Amino acid sequence: MSADPLSGANQPASDLHGEEAAPTEYQYNGRFYEESMPDIKGIDPGSDGKFHCWEEGCNHKDDGRRHLMKHLRTHYKPVKCPKPDCGRRAAEQREMIRHVQSCHVAWANKQPKLKVQEFFCDLCGAPFRRKDYIRKHQRYSCPIVKGEQRE
């Protein structure tokens, strides 16, 4: 009997053998989920011709609505981490990419568009996130290089 992971309907929760029901993770398709931002189309500039941030304690002002919106994102952090148990939020998509690639590497590597690029030492096969790490590794810590130097 193989359970179909897509139809959890006929599977009572008590059958989950102590395992927690999978939290609702989503697949990355080029954009992380973002909560909607306030609509600023109707916002008018102040008497100084600038658009003012309305967050308490913030004196930020910008020349245009789009700039203000970008600034507001730093307050609202609308981009949500795809891991529901993480709760991390970010102002920009870019930031979230960095977050999942460093904190949820296994998940990121399952997403074709987020896969952390790996480079391998051609001597011992050790994986590295960046190509330039390999040279450092071969100079200081590659076991193959170390072994050769000993001979």
In the complex, which residues of this chain contact Zn ion (CB under 5 A)? 53, 55, 58, 60, 81, 83, 86, 88, 121, 123-124, 126, 142
How many Cα neighbours within 13 Å face the side chain of 143?
3
CA distance 90 to 55: 17
Minimum Å gap between C-beta 13 and Zn ion is 26
CA-wise closest residue to 90 among 31, 27, 23: 31
Least distance between Zn ion and beta carbon 60 (Å): 4
Rank residues 3 and 146 by Cβ distance to Zn ion and give the closer one: 146
Which residue lies nearer to Zn ion by CB, 15 or 55? 55
Least Cβ distance, residue 59 to Zn ion (angstroms): 8
For residues 97 and 91, what is the distance between their CA atoms, to the nearest angstrom? Answer: 11
**Residues whose CB is less than 8 angstroms from the CB of residue 66 and which lie 6 or more positions away in sequence, other chains included:** none
| CB of 98 or CB of 117, closer to Zn ion | 98
